[in-house]
Amino acid sequence: RVTKEVDSTSKEAKSFLKQQEKWQSAAPASFPTVSGVKRPSGMSSLLGKIGSKKQKMSTLEKSKLDWENFKEEEGIVEELAIHNRGKDGYIERKAFLERVDHRQFEIERDIRLSRMKP
């Protein structure tokens, strides 16, 4: 079981509260009181809840959660944000490599085309 603390004004908290409201409003309506309709018995309903499959956490979700916890424990959240904004950031390096790759492709294309003309 994983617990996660979020700000009460965040999107995640609001979506969780909406989901809880849906579950509470759906619970009384799920057992109709019309005669002739069979309601689940106490024991089978209880066993159904116990035996139901738990939602598994994927490896990516677990890794993301572990990384977030590590950043909070070490207090490096702000340091990472500052570092990634600068010239040495991951996004800047990827953009640079993409520009270099595109430029190299254009050079090779021009060489191929110049050889084909004669």
Judge contact between 80 and 71, C-beta under 8 A. Answer: yes
Q: Residue 69 is encoded by which pair of tokens?
A: 């916890």
- 4 in a structural domain: no
Instruction: Give yes or no: residues 71 and 92 share one domain.
Output: no
pLDDT in tens, 27-58: 554 454 555 555 555 666 666 666 666 678 88
Judge contact between 62 and 4, C-beta under 8 A. Answer: no
Number of structural domains found in the chain: 2
Asked if residue 3 has pLDDT above 70, the reply is yes
- 99 in a structural domain: yes
Q: Minimal CA–CA distance to 91: which of 83, 102, 100, 101?
A: 83
Q: Residue 8 is encoded by which pair of tokens?
A: 């009460």
Q: Is the pTM of this model over 0.75?
A: no
Query: Distance between CA 21 and CA 92 in Å, rounded?
Result: 43
Q: For the chain, give the mean pLDDT.
A: 78
* Alpha helix stretches (DSSP H) within 30-89: 42-51, 59-74, 77-85
> What pLDDT does 48 receive?
66
pLDDT in tens, 51-92: 666 678 889 999 999 999 998 898 888 888 777 776 667 778
